[in-house]
Every structure is written in C-alpha cells, then in structure tokens.
C-alpha cells in the first residue's frame, strides 16, 4: 500500500493506472476506522482495479459546537487496517491543500440538506458536498463507495454527483452492525457501558416498526408516534426525528411503499446516533 499526502503524490501514484485505463474505486473516510469502513474498502476491492481510501477529518462538515477537535484520530491504526483489507493507496489529504487561505466555495444541495439531520446540523451536508465535489474532481475515480448507515448523506451525494454531472458512480454498501444490531459508528466510542444497550434498542425498534409499516398500511403516523414512545421508554434521551421518507427525495410519505426508508436520529446521553432501515 502506498501512503500519499499531497495531491501531486496522489497523481503520481495513480498515473500508471490511469494510463492503463484501470478502474479506480474510492472510499472516503474520516479515519477511526471500523468494520463498516472496511466493508467499503473490501467492496471497492471486489469491483475496481485500484482502491484509494482517504483519511481526512473534514472541518467543513462540523458545526461550531460539534466534535471536530475531539473526533477520534489514530492514523497508524487506520493505515494498518487499510493495508490489511487491501487498499492500494491510502491518501491523507491536508486541509491546507484542499481548503487554502481564501477558499470560499460552497457546493450544496440545499433542499435535501435542510431536512432530517440538516435541521439540527444546518451546515453539515454542505460541508460534505463542498469537500466531496472538490475531491471527486481531483481524484476522478470510477466509483465512490458510501455506507447506507449515513442514508441522508448517500442521497445528498447522489444528487450532487448527478446535478454536477460528475462521471462517478455512487455505490451504496449495507450498514455493518454489532451482534446486537447497533450500527457501527466511530462515535459509538462515546457511549458509556450503561448507554450501550439503550443504543442497541434503536435498530431493534426500527426493525419492529418496519415490519408494522409493511403490514399495517395507512397507519404510518400512528406507527411513528408509537415508535417515538418506544424509543423514549427504551432509555433514549431525545428523538431528534423518526420519519418514513421517500428514498430519493427524502420527503415524508403518508403511506408505506416498498423502497421507502425509515430514518431516525436520537440522543443517547450526549451521543447522537443515526440509523435507518428499508421498508
């Protein structure tokens, strides 16, 4: 595995592959890698000739009171994991090069970015799409691999790539979970021992609700209201949202249809968790 930092090094590392017309699979990460990230790299390895994984805690996607400074960072461990699962190039971009002094661009999909997580994190998705549009133009991969766990991010990224006309395929990879169903997330390390089972109740309740939504059509509002109560009863401190949405527009749907997505964001203690299940 080649480790590169500057875009010049990245260009040199990929030059031969580009000449030969090899396909390039790209896995963007913020480090603190877990099996969810590794599944993305493995899927890229399976489908593309060359796999580039990036590790970069993107400052643009953190709000002023969020955990940018405290976000877990462990470069050495992350690089070891990238190599182990077969990444060909690990790219550690620098903020200085991606966002030099005077940088003033915003690339956004405002409507899709303002709903759901966007209500509590109004600048988050614009931070993601600004960074990712720049990186996808620079790297020009064949495909970018994103986890379904961050479902809204996946939808926003698909829209950005399509609307900007970037020649990149966005490939979704299913969420990887702990044995008890908790979706893997770098932020799970924030959970206390007592909070851990409460966090696991999120997926269990989402799965139950999905079964109800599939069978009890026409009762969406009632199922969601009951779901919010169940989450609180399970020990969740706050339900930021629990919604059934169209999987492309993210619009709330009044009646469950195949392909809809049940999406949720909750607080367990001070830790914010998100998850989603297809209906």
CA distance 61 to 95: 13
Q: Is 153 annotated as contributing to ligand binding?
A: yes
133 contacts its own copies (rule: CB under 8 A): yes
87 contacts its own copies (rule: CB under 8 A): no
* Residues in CB range of 74: below 8 A, 6 or more apart: 31, 32
Between 165 and 254, name the residue whose CB sits nearer to its own copies. 165
165 contacts its own copies (rule: CB under 8 A): yes
Positions annotated as catalytic residues are 37
Residues binding its own copies: number (CB under 8 A): 22
CA distance 116 to 133: 22
Q: Is 149 annotated as contributing to ligand binding?
A: yes
Exactly one of 112, 184, 224, 244 binds its own copies (CB under 8 A); which one?
112
11 contacts its own copies (rule: CB under 8 A): no
20 contacts its own copies (rule: CB under 8 A): no
Using DSSP's 3-state secondary structure scheme, residue 240 falls into: strand
108 contacts its own copies (rule: CB under 8 A): yes
Sheet architecture: strand order including 89-91: 2-4, 89-91, 50-55, 24-29, 143-147, 169-173
Give, as ranges, the residues between 208 and 267 that touch its own copies (CB under 8 A): 249
User: What does each C-alpha distance from 24 to 15, 48, 55, 73, 169 come to in angstroms?
Assistant: 11, 6, 17, 26, 11
Exactly one of 5, 12, 84, 137 binds its own copies (CB under 8 A); which one?
137
Choose one: 17-25, 130-138, 251-259, 266-274; the region binding its own copies (CB under 8 A).
130-138
Strands 50-55, 89-91: parallel, antiparallel or unpaired by DSSP?
A: parallel
Interior/surface letters 175-195, b for 16+ CB within 10 angstroms, e for the rest: bbbeeebbbbbbebebbeeeb
Choose one: 98-106, 178-186, 237-245, 267-275; the region binding its own copies (CB under 8 A).
98-106
Choose one: 25-33, 106-114, 180-188, 271-279; the region binding its own copies (CB under 8 A).
106-114
Q: Is 119 annotated as contributing to ligand binding?
A: no
Using DSSP's 3-state secondary structure scheme, residue 267 falls into: strand
Using DSSP's 3-state secondary structure scheme, residue 144 falls into: strand
Choose one: 79-87, 162-170, 174-182, 270-278; the region binding its own copies (CB under 8 A).
162-170
- The binding site for its own copies (CB under 8 A) comprises 102-112, 133-134, 137-138, 159-160, 163-166, 249
């Amino acid at each position: 595995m080649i480790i590169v930092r500057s875009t010049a090094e990245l260009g040199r590392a990929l030059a031969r592959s580009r000449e030969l017309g090899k396909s390039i699979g790209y896995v963007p990460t913020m480090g603190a890698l877990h099996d969810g990230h590794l599944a993305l790299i493995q899927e890229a390895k399976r489908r593309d000739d060359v796999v580039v994984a990036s590790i970069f805690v993107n400052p643009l996607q953190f709000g002023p009171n969020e955990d940018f400074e405290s976000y877990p960072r462990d470069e050495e461990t992350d690089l070891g994991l990238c190599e182990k699962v077969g990444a060909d190039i690990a790219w550690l971009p620098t903020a200085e090069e991606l966002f030099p002094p005077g940088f003033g661009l915003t690339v956004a999909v405002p409507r899709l970015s303002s709903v759901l997580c966007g209500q509590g994190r109004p600048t988050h998705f614009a931070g993601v799409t600004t960074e990712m549009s720049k990186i996808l133009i620079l790297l020009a991969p064949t495909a970018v691999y994103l986890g379904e766990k961050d479902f809204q991010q996946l939808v926003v990224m698909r829209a950005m790539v399509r609307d900007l006309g970037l020649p990149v395929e966005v490939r979704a990879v299913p969420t990887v979970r702990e044995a008890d169903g908790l979706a893997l997330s770098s932020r799970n390390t924030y959970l206390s021992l007592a909070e851990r089972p409460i966090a696991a109740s999120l997926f269990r309740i989402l799965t139950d609700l999905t079964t109800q939504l599939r069978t009890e059509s026409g009762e969406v509002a009632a199922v969601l209201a009951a779901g919010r109560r169940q989450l609180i009863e399970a020990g969740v401190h706050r339900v930021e949202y629990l919604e059934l949405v169209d999987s492309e527009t993210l619009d709330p749907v009044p009646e469950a249809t195949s392909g809809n997505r049940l999406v949720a964001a909750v607080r367990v203690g001070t830790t914010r968790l998100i998850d989603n299940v297809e209906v």
